[in-house]
Amino acid sequence: MPLSQKEQLKFKALYLQTAWQYVNDLKANLNQLGTGNVTEEVIDTLHMDAHSLAGQSAIMGYEPVQSVSSLLEKIFKARKEKRLTLSDDMLAGLLEALQSVEKCLDEIETSDKCLTMSDDIEKLNSYLPK
Partner 1 sequence: MKILLVEDDTFFREFYSTKLREKNIEVETAANGEEGLLRLQTFMPDVMLLDIIMPKKDGFDVLKELAQMQLLPKLPVLVFSTLGQEKDIEKARVLGARGYVNKSFFDFEKLYARILELVKPN
Site for partner 1 in 58-97 (CB under 8 A): 58-59, 66, 70, 74
Comparing CA positions, the residue from 48, 69, 49 lying closest to residue 58 is: 69
- Cα–Cα distance for residue pair 130/121, rounded to 1 Å: 16
Neighbours of 101 (CB within 10 A): 27
Q: How many residues line the site for partner 1 (CB under 8 A)?
A: 22
Give the CA count within 13 Å in the CB-facing half-sphere of 5. Answer: 2
Nearer to partner 1, 16 or 91 (CB): 16
Q: Does 54 bind partner 1 (CB under 8 A)?
A: yes
Nearer to partner 1, 84 or 96 (CB): 84
Binding-site ranges for partner 1 (CB under 8 A): 1-3, 11, 14-15, 18-19, 44-45, 47-48, 51-52, 54-56, 58-59, 66, 70, 74
